[in-house]
Amino acid sequence: MKLRPLQDRVLVRRVEPEAKTAGGIFIPDTAQEKPMEGEVVAVGPGARNADGKLHPLEVKTGDRVLFGKWSGTEVKLDGEDLMIMKESDIMGVVDHAAANKKAA
What would the pLDDT profile of 73-93 be if each residue is shown by its tens digit? Answer: 999 888 888 999 999 999 999
Is 69 part of a structural domain of the chain? yes
Q: Is residue 97 part of a domain?
A: yes
Residue 63 covered by a domain: yes
In a domain, 64, yes or no: yes
Task: Give the count of domains, the chain.
Answer: 1
In the predicted structure, residue 100 carries a pLDDT above the cut 70: no
Please give the model's pTM, rounded to 2 decimal places. Answer: 0.73
CA 10 to chain centre: 8
Does residue 3 lie within any of the structural domains?
no
User: How confident is the model over 13-66, as pLDDT tens digits?
Assistant: 988 765 655 676 666 655 555 668 899 999 999 988 889 899 999 999 999 999
Q: Is 91 left (phi over 0), alpha (psi -120 to 50) or beta?
A: alpha
Mean pLDDT of the chain: 81
Task: Indicate whether 33 belongs to any domain.
Answer: yes
- Structural domain contains residue 43: yes
Domain range for residue 55?
Answer: 9-103
Residue 2 lies in a domain: no
**CATH classification of the domain holding 55:** 2.30.33.40
